[in-house]
Structures are given as C-alpha cells and as structure tokens.
Structure 1
Amino acid sequence: MIPLKDYNPTRRFPLVSVVFIVLNVLVFFYDRLSGHYEPLLVETARGVIRTRQFVGGLSSDYALVPVSLISHPLLAWPTIFSSMFLHGNWLHIGSNMLYLWIFGNNVEDVLGRMRFIVFYFTCGLVAAFAQVASAPGSNIPMVGASGAVAGVMGAYLLLFPRARILTLVPIIFFFTFIEVPAFLIIGYWVLIQFLNANWLGGGEFLRGGVAYFAHIGGFVAGVAFVGILGVKRRGGYRRL
C-alpha cells in the first residue's frame, strides 16, 4: 500500500516541512551530480553480499557509521544530523519525501514550527541511536531521513488515527485507489518494519540495505513525544 495524499487540511502553510523537503532534494541532486557511487559490498559468513545501498560522494564523509560513533563519539556526533539529509537512491528519497509531505504538514500544524523542528531532529536522533544499538560494531554507512519521518508518522497516528488517506493498492497485475484510515496504512507500515527487522537482518543492512531499527526507533520517539507532552490535534478532519 502506497499513501498518496490525506484529506486533512491545515490552518497554515507547512513552511518547515517544505524547507526540509527542499533541503533533502537539493542535497540529493548535489550529491548525485558531484559524487562517485559504487554498490555497497558486505562481507558475511556466507561470502560477500552486494546490497542496494550505494556509497560515495557526500556519504563518504557525512554518513553515520555506527562503529565510528561508538569509538569516536565526539568526532562522529555531527554525522547523526548530516546523515538525515543524505539518501542512497531515487526510491529512498522519493518515499521519504512523499511520507514527509503527506504527514508532516499536519504534525507541524499541531506542534507549531519551532517545536516541529525540535521534534523532527529528536526523532532522527533516537532513530540513529536505535540503529547503532542494534549493530554497534557495524562499519556500514547509515543515511536517510527515514528515522525522522517515521517519528512524524508516529505522531500523526496518535493525533489523526482516523484521517482518510488516499492509497494506491496493487492487486495482482492491476492497481486501484482506495481511501483507508491512517491507523491502517501506518499500522501496516509499522508491522512491516518489525517483521523485516527480525527476519531480514535489519541491524546489518542486509537484503536491501534498510535500517529497520532506525525506523522503529524514530516511530516510537514520535509517539512518545506527542504522548508525553499531551499534544492534542486542532480543528477537524475528514474521517472514515
């Protein structure tokens, strides 16, 4: 299921969300135009595995490497935040920015712009530590806004569980559009993250190069942020 848009109007323009999207896209294009990329090869007990994660360009210097953060925390600390603006490929940035556009505007509207900035980077920070904790000895670069975006989805789930989401659903060889409540589409996404984290070696980026534990950590941080602060939604929204 691929969410395309929600029916959840905001009171004001989502300036911060748009700025984050623009920055991510600009960094991605700059990185693609200036960097040299090679498929990431991971050595395992069964031999060397070629993943869909690509390294090179800005990722060589600004990606978060778990073992570096553990061994040299002061030097590697800035990469926790710089890595949030780097992406491995077109699908990676496309999906992250789509989710940020759909869910970020409403969360920003509820939290306010300054608090949304703090919220976004806090979720990204927790996501990074969750991934590092799952594989502290890993030397595989970690990039992407997925952890912060996962936090946005967690907040949206708590604030607007029954908001209508227009979703693209594949049915064998065909596609159809349906409207589903937010709790269903986000709940499905969360389930996939938990299953993949446990079945596909998410802590080591194997079989696809996805940091599933970062997704889970960011999501939990988003839910906790809203829950602890007792934030409540403003205005109405169209429900199913």
Structure 2
Amino acid sequence: METPEPNPKKSRWQWLDAIPDPVAAVALALTILQLATALAPVRAVRRLWRLVEVSPARIARAAEAGDWAGLVRPYLGHMFFHINLVHYVVNLTAILTAGTLVFREMQAKTAPGKSDPAAAFIAFFLLCGMAGAFAFVALNPKTYMPMIGASGAAAGLFGAVVLMIARRDWSALPLAGAAKTIFVTVAISTALVIVNYALFALFDSLLDLLQSNKLMLSRIPGWRSQLNIWLGGGSAWQAHAGGYLFGLVAFPLFERMARSSR
C-alpha cells in the first residue's frame, strides 16, 4: 500500500508565482527606477524628471521648435517615475492587480505557440499611459504644470477589467447583448468615478489636517517637507480619464493582437 506524499510546505512568497512575467517585468522596472531616484541626489532627480514629465506648454514649445525628442520622450517616459512613495505603491498595486487579470484574459484566448500575449500586454500598457498623457495635454494645453507617473496606464488596465466584467452574462438584467454590456460598463464606471472622487476628497482632507497646526507635527523640524515627500502631489484626473477610456475601448483590439500569429 502506497503512503500518500506529505503536502509540500507552502512558501510565503508563493503569491509571486501568480503574477505573470510581463506584469512582473513592468513592476520590476518601476521598482528599480523608484529605488534609483530615491537614492540619487535631489538635483539629478529633478533634472531627470524635467526630461520625462508631461508639461503641456513645454511640449508645445518643443513641437514648435521641431524638437522631436522633447515632444515624444515625455509621452513614453513619464509613466516610469513617481513623485513619492505613496504614488508608487498605489500605482504598483493597481498594475499588479489589474494587470494580472488583463494578461490572463489575453492569454486564455491565445493559441499556444502561435501568439504573443506578452507583447500585446506591454503594448497595451504603454499605449494606455500615452493616452492618459495625451488627455492631460489636450485638457491643459497652456499650463506648465507637470504630470508624472503610471496612473494613466494603471487606469487603462482597470478600464479593460471593467469591460471584461461587463461582457459576462448578467442574467438578472432584462437587456440583450450590446445593451447589457453598455449598461454594466456605464454603471461600473459611474461608481468608480464616485469612489475615486470620495477617496481623493478624503485624502486631501487628511493632508490638510496633517499640514495644519492642530497636530503635534508642527513641532517636528522639516515636517512640511517630509509630508510633501511622502504624501504630496496633486491628482491628474485627466490622465486617469484618458487612460481609462482608452483601455475600455481599445482592449478588444489588443485581445485580437494577442491571438494573432507571430
């Protein structure tokens, strides 16, 4: 009689195996650059950010001067850097969560050995981020205020997830086909807008409270600068909206791209 093999001991890092390689590659790139900027001299980091941040007025000036590098570089480079640790952690969490779902959906509909879901995912991620940057520039054409971070790309991944949910069979809804998908998409998107607005309002209120003299923080030397390092920076909602809408609309195209032969 054979004795059953003992259950293998589960590693505390087993959850890492659930993250697809393309998603892990994006997360690793963001992490390496975040560590590099955290350790680099502040002056060097600010100079680097100036090269990659999306500043609509400076981009317009680059276009007028025929500076194609200055025109294109911000659209691609801005999404790999983050203004502070909280910004990085929030975007990384969103990318790991939504990115895993998006890649698995692409992978599930591919023919083994004949398609490349990894390339489709990376292209989708980058174009979501670029769409967010385009939206930020289009809605703030004359401002020098810069925007940086992978928020637009992360929002695009969530747009794809919302579409994936909306396409499922919602038997409780007395609607058919496309009408059902549209209704669920609009309902979830509206709920996300409300939740995002509430969270950002709560965050702003918390930041105002921390910066007020009502707390003992005012007795800590350099407390305002530390708050800005860890929690500072405004929300570029235009980039969130642009990336989200692109991800919502364009995801089926990248699904087909993932299915196509090499």
Please give the TM-score of this superposition, normalised by the length of structure 1: 0.64
The residue that corresponds to 1:167 in the other structure is: none
Match of 2:138 among 110, 133, 148: 133
Aligned letter for 1:133? Answer: A
Would you say the 8 A contact 1:153–1:186 is kept in 2?
no
Match of 1:17 among 20, 23, 28: 23
Greater fraction of residues in helix: 2
Query: Following the alignment from structure 1 to structure 2, what is the Cα–Cα distance between the partners of residues 137 and 156?
Result: 33
Match of 2:245 among 220, 223, 227: 220
Query: Following the alignment from structure 2 to structure 1, what is the Cα–Cα distance between the partners of residues 250 and 194?
Result: 21
Would you say the 8 A contact 1:59–1:141 is kept in 2?
no
Aligned letter for 2:54? Answer: L
Query: Following the alignment from structure 1 to structure 2, what is the Cα–Cα distance between the partners of residues 16 and 187?
Result: 30
Would you say the 8 A contact 1:190–1:216 is kept in 2?
no
Residues 34-62 of structure 1, C-alpha deviations (whole Å, 9 max, x = no match): 1317xxxxxxxxxxxxxxxxx82521322
The residue that corresponds to 2:82 in the other structure is: 87
Match of 1:102 among 83, 89, 97: 97
- Specify whether residues 208 and 101 from structure 1 end up closer, same or farther in structure 2 by C-alpha distance, changes over 3 A only: same
Query: Following the alignment from structure 1 to structure 2, what is the Cα–Cα distance between the partners of residues 88 and 214?
Result: 15
Greater fraction of residues in strand: 1
* Deviation of 1:79 (Å): 1.5
Q: Secondary structure at the match of 1:78?
A: helix
Would you say the 8 A contact 1:64–1:76 is kept in 2?
no
Please give the TM-score of this superposition, normalised by the length of structure 2: 0.59
Q: Secondary structure at the match of 2:83?
A: coil
Structure 1 residues 32-51: aligned runs within 5 Å: 32-36=38-42
What is the alpha-carbon root mean square deviation over aligned residues? 3.4
- Specify whether residues 122 and 24 from structure 1 end up closer, same or farther in structure 2 by C-alpha distance, changes over 3 A only: same
Aligned letter for 2:51? Answer: D
Aligned letter for 1:211? Answer: A
* Deviation of 1:191 (Å): 3.1
Alignment size in residue pairs: 179
Structure 1: tracts of 5 or more residues without a match:
1-8, 38-54, 164-181, 201-206, 232-240
Query: Following the alignment from structure 2 to structure 1, what is the Cα–Cα distance between the partners of residues 33 and 47?
Result: 11
Would you say the 8 A contact 1:155–1:222 is kept in 2?
yes
How much identity, in percent, do the aligned residues show?
A: 26
Match of 1:160 among 165, 179, 187: 165
* Deviation of 1:226 (Å): 2.1
* Structure number with bigger Rg: 2
Q: Secondary structure at the match of 1:110?
A: helix
Residues 115-172 of structure 1, C-alpha deviations (whole Å, 9 max, x = no match): 1111111111111010011111111221100000100000011113599xxxxxxxxx
- Specify whether residues 190 and 32 from structure 1 end up closer, same or farther in structure 2 by C-alpha distance, changes over 3 A only: same
- Specify whether residues 161 and 118 from structure 1 end up closer, same or farther in structure 2 by C-alpha distance, changes over 3 A only: same
The residue that corresponds to 1:65 in the other structure is: 55
